[in-house]
């Protein structure tokens, strides 16, 4: 996977250690240091194929993450100037300007609205494996830190700001993907939309946010590995999928699941967020989230049904290698049977 990158798996270890340090620390200085260690481990993976597009994406990603880190440390210093401590619980109880600066820093690192502009251009120039890491693992630490912000400082102003951010992210994720023909850029806008749902979920239920994040990571892993299996370097356009029937079915099911179409697994996570969101007086935010999700489902359907239906012939869709057929069977089972199992066992009765 990273065969052209010296000490590639060492960088993976450094990246994982940085994330674990951030989510396990109770001091903001250690949290910031963990995020920087994670960045140091991830940057070499962005350029392991040594292409021009990778180098451009790496520079953009570094600038965006440096800006987010500067917001975080600046906000921490503003709050340290008042409390004279780096303790997480003490800082979170302070309702100051520095608190909003720290929230802005996390939004920059995640690629949330209105700091989302860097994510599609960065992901469009990366190979599939690093796209997978950028869309999944790199979101874990900032999301859990934002969850800490909400739990420690549940003020009305913070809730209002995060509602606007989540609604804007969902709408941007829907609007932005409508004119995309590159799969990487399309998945970047999809990631922005799903981050909006996760941000709204953490306002109401920690368990709902973790469940949504887990489902999104599982579906994204299947999606990116399927695309990487098809062609790791050259296939950037959607038209490249028309040569593999089984791969078309794989991608179709996964994208419909990402779009939240019932009874697929992605629908269950959105349903859970809707259930916990309707218990609070934030229905306007939930309505905008659903609108953004519908727009995302529209471009999933319009793009991939056009490619899929235009190339259908008399041969079997499932035809191909045993490996591809097995992957297709796994994805169908994961989406269909997984969603039916969750509903039939009344998952939401535990909330």
CA-CA distance, 120 to 191, in Å (whole number)?
Answer: 9
Alpha carbon distances (Å) from 166 to 75, 171, 203, 258, 298: 21, 9, 10, 17, 20
Which residue in this structure is represented by tokens 């009344």? Answer: 346
pLDDT of residue 11: 86
CA dihedral over 338, 193, 123, 231, signed as positive or negative: positive
CA-CA distance, 195 to 166, in Å (whole number)?
Answer: 7
Closest by Cα among 154, 192, 155 to 173: 192
DSSP, res 333: I
Alpha carbon distances (Å) from 30 to 103, 125, 127, 150, 329: 17, 32, 31, 19, 44
Q: At what angle do helices 206-230 and 265-277 cross, to 10 degrees?
A: 160
179: containing domain: 8-350
> Residue 247, Cα to own-chain centre: how many angstroms?
22
195 domain residue, yes or no:
yes
**pLDDT digits (tens), the chain, 351 positions:** 555 555 668 888 999 999 999 988 888 888 889 999 999 999 988 887 778 888 899 999 999 999 999 998 888 888 878 777 777 766 666 667 778 888 899 999 999 988 999 999 999 888 888 899 999 999 999 999 888 888 877 778 888 899 999 999 999 999 888 877 788 888 899 999 999 999 999 988 889 999 999 999 999 998 888 878 766 444 445 555 555 667 777 777 888 888 888 778 888 899 999 988 887 767 888 999 999 998 888 878 876 676 566 555 434 444 445 555 565 566 656 665 555 555 555 444 444
132 domain residue, yes or no:
yes
Closest by Cα among 152, 161, 22, 50 to 103: 161
Specify the 3-state DSSP secondary structure of 60.
helix
1 domain residue, yes or no:
no
pLDDT of residue 232: 41
pLDDT of residue 302: 75
Q: Which two tokens stand for residue 344?
A: 């039939």
Instruction: Write down the H helix ranges in the chain.
Output: 8-24, 28-46, 52-83, 88-92, 97-110, 118-124, 128-135, 137-152, 156-176, 183-202, 206-230, 245-259, 265-277, 283-310, 322-332, 338-344
pLDDT of residue 344: 52
CA-CA distance, 116 to 108, in Å (whole number)?
Answer: 7
Q: How many CA atoms lie within 13 A of 326 on its CB side?
A: 3
Closest by Cα among 184, 336, 131, 188 to 249: 336
Specify the 3-state DSSP secondary structure of 243.
helix
Taking the alpha carbons at both ends of the chain, their separation in whole angstroms is 41
278 domain residue, yes or no:
yes
CA-CA distance, 71 to 249, in Å (whole number)?
Answer: 43
221 domain residue, yes or no:
yes
Reported residue count of the chain is 351
Number of domains in the chain: 1
Q: 94 near 80, Cβ under 8 Å?
A: no
Q: 320 near 244, Cβ under 8 Å?
A: yes
CA-CA distance, 43 to 133, in Å (whole number)?
Answer: 11
CA-CA distance, 163 to 138, in Å (whole number)?
Answer: 22
């Amino acid at each position: 996977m990273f065969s052209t990158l010296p000490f590639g798996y060492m960088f993976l270890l450094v990246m994982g250690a940085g994330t674990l340090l951030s989510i396990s620390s109770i001091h903001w200085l250690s949290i910031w240091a963990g995020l920087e260690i994670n960045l140091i481990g991830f940057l070499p993976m962005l350029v392991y194929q040594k292409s021009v597009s990778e180098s451009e994406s790496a520079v953009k990603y570094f600038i965006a993450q440096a800006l987010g880190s500067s917001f975080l440390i600046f906000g921490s210093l503003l709050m340290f100037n008042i409390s004279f401590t780096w303790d997480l619980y003490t800082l979170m109880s302070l309702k100051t300007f520095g608190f909003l600066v720290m929230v802005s820093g996390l939004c920059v690192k995640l690629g949330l609205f209105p700091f989302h502009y860097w994510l599609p251009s960065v992901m469009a120039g990366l190979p599939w494996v690093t796209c997978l890491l950028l869309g999944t693992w790199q979101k874990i630490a900032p999301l859990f830190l934002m969850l800490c912000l909400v739990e420690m400082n549940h003020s009305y102003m913070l809730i209002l700001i995060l509602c606007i951010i989540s609604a804007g992210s969902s709408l941007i994720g829907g609007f932005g993907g409508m004119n995309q023909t590159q799969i990487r850029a399309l998945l970047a806008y999809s990631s922005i939309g799903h981050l909006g749902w996760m941000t709204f979920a953490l306002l109401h239920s920690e368990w709902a946010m973790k469940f949504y994040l887990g489902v999104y990571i599982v579906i994204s892993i299947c999606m990116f590995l399927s695309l990487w299996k098809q062609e790791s370097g050259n296939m950037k356009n959607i038209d490249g999928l028309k040569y593999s029937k089984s791969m078309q079915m794989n991608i179709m099911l996964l994208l419909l699941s990402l779009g939240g179409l019932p009874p697929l697994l992605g629908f269950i996570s959105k349903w859970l967020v809707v259930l916990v969101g309707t218990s609070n007086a934030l229905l306007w935010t939930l309505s905008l989230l659903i609108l953004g999700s519908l727009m995302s489902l529209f471009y999933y359907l319009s793009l991939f049904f056009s490619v899929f239906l235009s190339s259908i012939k008399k041969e079997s869709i499932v035809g191909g290698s045993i490996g591809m057929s097995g992957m297709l069977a796994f994805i169908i089972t994961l989406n269909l049977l997984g969603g039916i199992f969750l509903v039939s066992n009344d998952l939401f009765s535990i909330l």
